[in-house]
Amino acid sequence: MRKRQLGRCGLEVSELALGTWGLSGEAYGPIPEGEAERVVDRAVSLGITLFDTADAYDRGQMERILGKRLPVGRTHVVTKIGTNLDDYPVKQFDKQYLFMAFERSQERLKRDCVDVVLLHNPSLKTLSTDEPFELLQKLKDQARIRAWGVSACSREVAEKAIDRGCDVLEMAYNCFFYRDVRALAVRMRTEGVGLLARSVLSYGLLAGHWTAEREFYPPDHRAERWNQDELKRRVDQTGALRAVVGGQMPTMRSVALRFALENERVTSIVLGPRNPTQLDQLVRDAGRMPPYFPRGALARLENELAARGVTGD
């Protein structure tokens, strides 16, 4: 498993990270008992050293699993705080709440120093206040966290996070959605900001297994993500990936994963398998080392995307 530097914070982490939202049972529906633990254990055995979670995932249960299963010293954890589930889901970023949330996460993760803490999808208005950053910097000064940052839902939020001095950004980045990350590439390099790329398969769309008639049902979050016309258009556009499949990229899934890894600004791509078999497939398709694309294949892919109306935003 190759490793990359996570920006300026001094951490060297695997370029593949294990995300735990799908393992919580909340994103795509329930998973069998014990499956989350099996996936985490398999990730460790494969050499994955970075694990992405949040205090809101199954009300902290994913943090508890990581706290029990991960070997301290050989693995690193990114967690996200700022979603208050006590009464109903609401974003909350005042200093008092964030400190309480952090202490709960730290206890569940069983770490004296949490590697990375991110604000969980804050608004632009939230980033204009000082409280969250005063707390995060204080925790960093006390060596209770190694680095802090923002899980950003837009380019504007990410830009403001960089202005605020973040160490790490987590942003969506894939073949269909790439303009925001590319627009910030120079700033991230100049400021030494590490980037975690999420949604690299666009919630399964870029794996290439869907037809335009695919249907989703609650609690699967994809039931509300696309209407039928939008889904049909997106499925048609995945033909761009199919056009470059071949050789070291045997599947559309491998094209999508390698598209994200090819970007030198990306430190790690966050994978979302729901069982060990899916994890093995993802690791295999991601490849072991660069070049991730054969000569000319990336340009051909981007031409194919443009021809199908993909604008990257």
Domains of the chain in start order, with CATH, are 3-204+264-289 (3.20.20.100)
What distance in Å separates the CA atoms of residue 84 and residue 195, rounded to the nearest whole number?
Answer: 25
Q: Which residue has the tokens 């996070």?
A: 161
Q: Does 244 have pLDDT greater than 90?
A: yes
* Average pLDDT rounded to a whole number, residues 54-75: 96
Secondary-structure breakdown of the chain: helix, strand, coil percentages, each rounded to the nearest 5: 45, 20, 40
Q: How confident is the model at residue 129 (pLDDT cuts 50, 70, 90)?
A: very high
Average of pLDDT values for 283-304? 91
Q: Above 80 in pLDDT, residue 10?
A: yes
Cα 82 from chain centre: 17
The chain-wide mean pLDDT, for the chain, equals: 95
pLDDT in tens, 22-45: 999 999 999 999 999 999 999 999
pTM of the model: 0.96
Q: Residue 86: pLDDT above 90?
A: no
Residue 148: the pLDDT is 98
DSSP secondary structure string, 18-51? EE-TGGGTSSSS---TTHHHHHHHHHHHTT--EE
Asked whether the predicted pLDDT for residue 88 surpasses 80, the reply is: no
